[in-house]
Amino acid sequence: MPAERWTADALIGFAEALCRKAGFDDEKAAVTARLLVEADMLGHTTHGLQLLAPYLAAAEAGTMRTTGEPKVLADRPAALTWDGDRLPGVWLTDKALGVAIERARELGTAMVAIRRSHHIACLAAFLQRATDAGMMAIIASSDPAVVSVAPFGGRQPLYTPDPIAIGIPTDGDPVLVDISASITTNGLSGRYAAEGRRMPHNWLLDGEGNPTDDPNVLTADPPGSILPVGGLDHGHKGYGLALMIEALTQGLPGFGRADPGEGWGASVTVQVIDPACFAGSDAFNRQTGWLARACRENPPRPGVERVRLPGENGLARKRKALADGVELYPGIMAKLTEVAGTYGVEVPKAKS
């Protein structure tokens, strides 16, 4: 039996209605809904509408504020710092990206650092706003209240997977990089544990520091940890990347692990670079376009069909979803249907 699909507009409208019922003002509801569905279309199913129910629960509990504006802590032409005041992180990050794009047009580059944001979902979902404007974007995030990754050589979890995303315009499709400083994420580990599955490889350490593929070690006593990128052999690389991301996201806005935890949330940095202010957009796109084509044309090693660029599969999924409908990961719509019943919101019908 074919999987159910929904139009993107139907899912966005549904998610927006649920957000409004939970107290989100109109703009925050619209932006959060649109970018969660964008994540599902790109294939980041652990960071799309799967997060909506927890977001609504946080709003109901008062741990996510649903109205208001960030507080400006520092404002220089190319550097802006906000206190997010626990506002919806998806909306805050999109707002920061818009401000950075506007300032980068004049200054060449601009950065916004945000402390005390709520969770920001899928980093890749933000990138095309910048690349469509011909600009390069870098977004990084960490959560000072959560620990699940141990430093290389250690066994006690100390920091989060620490994602970073980079959107690179070219003379064709953009390159959309979305990676973490750890081998896997909390979201995927939680999904595997909930479904009673083992990870594909030994991506984790148990509480004693032994490699394992069992995601349940993350909630054991003592808790295990996720390995940094590079694993047991070259994990110093992911460890170094994580330290940079922690400094960018917590050091710059001045709030992080050195402070009392406030619950699930995020520290964020957003940087936008306008190639037009350097050697020019045409020169930039000539270089990035050449490299993109050279990567795609590189002879594949045995067992690999062809070389792909970061974001290539995601963009193909998005185009298919817009044409044929969005397929959600099993269980997501069932959960949202349950939530919709409590709010009195009509559930969209799947495409025939």
DSSP class per residue in 190-207:
HHHHHTT---SS--EE-T
| Structure confidence at residue 207 as a pLDDT band (50, 70, 90) | very high
Please state the rounded mean pLDDT for residues 304-332.
Answer: 97
Q: What confidence tens digit (pLDDT) does each residue in 220-271 have? A: 999 999 999 999 999 999 999 999 999 999 999 999 999 998 999 999 999 9
pLDDT score recorded for residue 279? 98
Q: Is the pLDDT of residue 352 over 80?
A: no
Q: What confidence tens digit (pLDDT) does each residue in 138-188 have? A: 999 999 999 999 999 999 999 999 999 999 999 999 999 999 999 999 999
| Structure confidence at residue 2 as a pLDDT band (50, 70, 90) | confident
Q: Is the pLDDT of residue 1 over 70?
A: no
Q: What confidence tens digit (pLDDT) does each residue in 276-286 have? A: 999 999 999 99
3-state secondary structure of 176: strand
Class at the top of the CATH hierarchy for domain 185-226: alpha beta
Token couple for 5: 């699909």
Longest dimension (CA), the chain: 57
Residue 32 neighbours by CB under 8 Å, 6+ apart: 15, 16, 19, 24, 55, 88, 90, 91
Q: Pick one of 3.40.50.620, 3.30.1370.60, 3.40.720.10, 3.70.10.10 as the CATH number of 69-183+229-310.
A: 3.30.1370.60
Alpha-carbon dihedral angle through residues 256, 258, 261, 266, given to the nearest 10 degrees = 10
Q: Pick one of 3.40.50.300, 3.20.20.70, 1.10.3720.10, 1.10.1530.10 as the CATH number of 1-67+322-352.
A: 1.10.1530.10
Residues of the chain with CATH 3.30.60.50: 185-226
Please state the rounded mean pLDDT for residues 57-70.
Answer: 98
Token couple for 179: 């990676």
pTM of the complete model: 0.96
Closest residue by Cα to residue 175 from 313, 311, 314: 311
Do the beta carbons of residue 165 and residue 42 sit within 8 Å? no
CA distance 54 to 32: 13
Do the beta carbons of residue 151 and residue 162 sit within 8 Å? no
Token couple for 68: 């208001």
Residues of the chain with CATH 1.10.1530.10: 1-67+322-352
Mean pLDDT over each residue of the chain, to the nearest integer: 97
CA distance 142 to 225: 16
Burial readout 28-41 (b: 16 or more C-beta within 10 A, e: otherwise): bbbbbbbbbbbbbb
Q: Is the pLDDT of residue 332 over 80?
A: yes
